[in-house]
Amino acid sequence: MVPRLQREAERCYVGEMAREPLSPEPPFAEQLLSQAGTLYNFARYLCRDAALAEDLVQDTFARALDAQAQFLSGSNLKAWLFRILRNLHVDARRRDRRNPVALSPNDDEAEASASDVWLRGDIEIDRLRSLVATDIESALARLSEDARTVILLDLEGCTETEIASVMDTAVGTVKSRLARARAVLREQLQEYAR
């Protein structure tokens, strides 16, 4: 009796599979482009410069396309791209430290361009948004690079395991960095908690 039930279950399962059309996976480049906004936001906070962030995202896409064969289909593309982007950023920072001619970006120009984005709609609300955004960005900027990276990846919805994979550290390290970074941000932004 049991083998007959098993054969019937297999027949139903195979019948269900035959009725459902298999949706083809979108091309790899299309999957990459679907992550462009998320990667840009992450790069923007890492670099603190829109032009550098765009370059970093472009380099990330180029590196990902070159390494397409290394990507395991079905694994987390977003985490893989974050890891590539972070590694490129860290490499660029190391190169910049050794470059005696490198200039630091002008913070006043970055603040001016950021405030222009908020000038829409009600002026008072826009000023408040700008104030809050500036405070949050400066609080994030005061964090160490690893702490800022952990916070930004957490805000992007990555799990602690995915963050550990991106940062090439243990999950426990990610948990402690995340807890410490949140505590620092809570302290720096306590005015807004009221």
List per-block mean pLDDT (blocks of 10 residues) for the chain, which spans 194 residues. Answer: 53 49 70 87 86 91 89 84 89 80 50 47 65 80 87 87 89 92 87 70
| Dist. CA 67–CA 31, nearest whole Å | 14
Task: Say which residue the tokens 């996976």 belong to.
Answer: 25
pLDDT of residue 165: 87
pLDDT of residue 110: 45
pLDDT of residue 121: 52
* Contact in structure between 68 and 47 (CB atoms under 8 Å): no
| Dist. CA 155–CA 94, nearest whole Å | 26
pLDDT of residue 73: 80
Taking the domains of the chain in order of start, what are their residue ranges? 26-105
Contacts of 162 (CB under 8 A, 6+ apart): 76, 78, 79, 82, 153
pLDDT of residue 10: 58
Instruction: Give the chain's radius of gyration (CA, Å).
Output: 22
For domain 26-105, give its CATH number from 1.10.569.10, 1.10.1740.10, 2.60.40.1890, 2.40.37.10: 1.10.1740.10
pLDDT of residue 42: 87
pTM for this structure? 0.52
